[in-house]
Amino acid sequence: MKAVTVIGLLIAAFNLGYELVFPILNIPDFADAVAGFLGIAIAYAFLLSLKRNGLMPK
């Protein structure tokens, strides 16, 4: 699970960097950065739930 956490944090950092710092083919947009971060948080919560409960009901 540590790898998923590290990868999620890296994706979040790159998303913030791309949305706010690098205006290449993109207008800096804080709302897009927040939406991307929320999407990453939701996906991470799903992966944590999947790790805890598994695919099959108990």
Cβ neighbours of residue 8 closer than 8 Å, sequence gap 6 or more:
40, 43, 44
pLDDT digits (tens, 9 = 90+) for 2-57: 888 898 899 999 988 888 888 777 788 888 889 989 999 999 999 888 888 888 87
Query: In whole angstroms, what is the distance from residue 15 CA to residue 21 CA?
Result: 10
Polymer length in residues for the chain: 58
Q: Which pLDDT belongs to residue 38?
A: 94
Amino acid occupying residue 7:
I
Whether residue 12 contacts residue 37, with contact meaning beta carbons closer than 8 Å, is answered with yes
> Kind and range of the H or E element at 22?
none
pTM above 0.85, yes or no: no
Q: Which pLDDT belongs to residue 41?
A: 93
| Domain map (residue ranges) of the chain | 2-53
